[in-house]
Amino acid sequence: MSDSRELVLVLDFGGQYKELIARAVRGLSVYSEIRPGNMPIEEIKRLSPIGIIMTGGPSSVYQPGSPTCDPAIFGLGIPVLGICYGMHLMCHTLGGEVTAGGAGEYGRVTVTPENPVSTLFHETQGKPFEALMSHRDVVSRLPAGFRQTASTAVCIAACENAEKKLYAVQFHPETKHTDGGSEIFRRFLYEACGAAGSYKLDDYIDTQVGLIRHKVGGGNVLLALSGGVDSSVCASLLSRAVPNQLVCIFVDHGFMRLNEGDEIERVFSKRKLRFIRVNAQERFLKRLDGVADPETKRKLIGEEFVRVFEEESAKLGDVPFLAQGTIYPDIVESGGSYGATIKSHHNVGGLPKNLKFTGVVEPLSGLFKDEVRILGRKLGLPAFLVNRQPFPGPGLAIRVVGDVTEEKLNVLRKADAILREELDGVKNRPDQYFAVLTNTCSVGVKGDERTYSQVIAIRAVITGDFMTCDYAPIPHKTLGCISSRITSEIPSVSRVVYDITSKPPATVEWE
């Protein structure tokens, strides 16, 4: 970190909720970064964090080869909070004992604080509360100097050595399933770490504008603009930093939602940048002719995007810098010491490595998605872009089950538009919602005549992190209105069904 912001390090041991931890800290106005759990002690000292949080993980600390950290971390005088595996590692390293705990605990479990109440627990949490547990191993003996601060029916749920500023919890305060989880983080940050809470997004734009100008100088910058939140905010920030030096290529593959391509062009053609729209609808449809397998669709669309981008960028001549809408989770997902590489963050739509650029500009690479949305609003982007729901790169092509045709896309666009019109302004709006053309026909009756027409599925989910989700309990009256409109306004649709499957066992998308 190159500035003077307060920093909390989130040391990752393979925890599935590491991003939730880092975001919870930032949400409390303290800057956080995720680093590998085996981060060298000298690097930690150089960064001078005000606190360290150790994540959960799938391993057992007593097994050979399990993830570990430098034991010197616990003697730095920096407050440390261990969560789940982080608690096990802290206790195991400092002379306690961790053992297999039989059946373990999974889901919401009642946690009872001890007296006196720990630094981590607010006075109101002196009473039992519900917390998310996900563990089999337990701390069976505490290290010297530690005291138990909370328990469940089967385990030590929290412990601390307040003198050495070491705290640990068996449960996961970073999830919404733990009552008062945010307050636990607040007390760790402000009571234990003495945070001032100086992390704000207000000065982010000015800071990044200066950094971009310093890096780019008088060179031109090329951005592959998808119209998604990340690339749109990136384009807006770059156009403020280097007006008239930015070239945005928007490849319209024909799988966008109703009028979406025109809306994107309308927004960015007015900014101080060169906007190039490539209408490649026929080209992409031809590539997918007769293709039904969803993975094959994805690969073909990705390959064709690369070809179009290569052709267009070659026409521009000397453009030394490539800009990307990379955000912080993309970097985290690029792989760590104890996690698999999910995707490389140095790509835009699978761009080939042989494209010639002097450097890469990634002004959003330190932000989470919700922070990017806030930044977009500060930059004056319209709500339809800033609040755009997650939309797959292949677009509607993978919401048409089976082979893709222009006729099917038009049906799906109309159904999806109706769904969004009905849900966009409702109270307690779902976090994501869309229509699917199911590749199934059903008998119906229209105008006293038998029909055998297409079935549209509606998908709407509630989620805080898109790692898991529940289906949205949309009122029957609203569902009835949506169904009536779709079947009335689209002649080729005779039936609408609602997907009530959560994740897991399903995924958010159908394909």
Specify the fold of 204-386. Answer: Rossmann fold (3.40.50)
60-68: long-range pairs with CB below 8 Å, 24+: 60/88, 60/98, 60/100, 60/137, 61/85, 61/88, 61/89, 61/92, 61/98, 61/137, 62/92, 62/98, 62/99, 62/137, 67/13, 67/14, 67/37, 67/38, 67/337, 67/338, 68/37, 68/38, 68/93
Per-residue pLDDT, 123? 62
- pLDDT, one tens digit per residue, over 460-484 is 999 866 667 899 999 999 999 999 9
pLDDT of 349 over the 50 cut: no
pLDDT of 338 over the 60 cut: no
What integer is the mean pLDDT of 310-325?
Answer: 86
CA distance 303 to 350: 8
Q: Which two tokens stand for residue 356?
A: 């010639």
Specify the fold of 7-192. Answer: Rossmann fold (3.40.50)
CA distance 228 to 191: 39
174 carries an active-site annotation: yes
Q: Pick the closest to residue 486 from 437, 414, 413 (CA basis).
A: 414
Tell me the three state secondary structure of residue 359: strand
172 carries an active-site annotation: yes
pLDDT of 429 over the 60 cut: yes
Could you tell me if 261 and 235 are in contact, meaning their C-beta atoms sit under 8 angstroms apart? no
Residue in 19, 69, 84, 92 annotated catalytic: 84
Q: Give percent of the chain with pLDDT exceeding 90.
A: 60
Work out the mean pLDDT of the chain and round it to a whole number: 88
- 342 band by pLDDT with thresholds 50, 70 and 90: very low
Residue in 88, 135, 172, 253 annotated catalytic: 172
* Residue 361, CB-side half-sphere exposure with 13 Å CA sphere: 31
Residue in 174, 260, 304, 422 annotated catalytic: 174
Which CATH number fits the domain 399-498, given the four candidates 3.30.1300.10, 3.20.20.30, 3.30.300.10, 3.40.50.970? Answer: 3.30.300.10
Per-residue pLDDT, 287? 95
Instruction: Indicate if 399-498 has the same CATH topology as 204-386.
Output: no
Whether omega before 64 lies within 30 degrees of 0, making that bond cis, reads no
Per-residue pLDDT, 430? 93
Q: What is the pTM of this model?
A: 0.72
Domain layout of the chain by residue ranges: 7-192, 204-386, 399-498
